[in-house]
Amino acid sequence: MSRTYVITGAASGIGKVTAEILRERGETVIGVDLKDVEVAGDLSNHEGRLAAAAEAAQLAGGTVDAVIPCAGLSVMKPVTVAVNFFGMAEFLEALLPALGRSEAPRVALVSSMASLQPVSTALVDAMLAGDEEQALSIAGSLAEASPESNPIYSSSKRAISRWVRREAPTEAWGGAGIPLNAVAPGTVVTPMTKDLLASERGRAMTDAYVPMPLNSHQGAESIAHLLIWLTSVENTHCTGQTVYCDGGADTVLRGDDVWSWNDEAMARKFREIGARLRG
């Protein structure tokens, strides 16, 4: 049976490729972007997000089986925060009622391995607090202080991955039977990275920050196929994850042990659980 997908950023890059693959498989796709899609919407502001979500739900007949938010920006300006975090989180929350009518609702969004890079803690905290005005103000200060190099993009991706992890086990998502995940690409060859990868200097800089020992720079389809599996009926228990589909960049940068830093905190948590169980 055909499933109905809502995909943001469907006019280019990962979103476009994902939509094309799904349509070839006979699925119904409602694309959301600034133009050349079913729903023309601006996800950089509150009104635009709600309007786009409402129109997408209406076109879907009130029931959406899966949402794949791909729309994103990499410019070092406040608008990146508006689109990359609030344009995903608020749009998804607006579509929760339509997802709730599906027999197998699923969500998978695009984060980035840049979530591992240095961030502005204040900016991440403002995004996670849902304070868009404050987040945009902080991003504006960062952009003014350093227009060519600032942590706005990495902060937006760290925040959206943390939002996924925070929200996934809640009643609104996990409790409603909705797996919520993210995919973190490495360097994807798309219109957004075309200029950067066109020069030897740009490629060298990119590879220094995003080392990809497995097959180097990736095509958008490598991310599309993972997004499609995460939003398929086969995914019944994977939730709250940021899956690093990045040619090995995560493992190079973080190494083989991403557990022991948290051992004491987990031991304390299990002691607390044991104490509660013993009454």
Structure tokens at 271: 């002691």
In the chain, the N- to C-terminal Cα span, in Å, equals: 49
pTM here is 0.95
Rounded to 10 deg, the angle between the 121-128 and 152-167 helix axes is 40
Catalytic residue ranges: 153
Mean pLDDT of 31-45: 98
Report the chain's mean pLDDT, rounded to a whole number. 96
Query: With b meaning 16 or more CB within 10 Å and e meaning fewer, what string describes 137-148?
Result: ebbeebbeeeee
How many Å apart are CA 106 and CA 122, to the nearest integer? 31
Given a contact cutoff of 8 angstroms between Cβ atoms, the answer to whether 53 and 91 are in contact is yes
Kindly report, residue by residue over 88-118, the tens digit of the pLDDT.
999 999 999 999 999 999 999 999 999 999 9
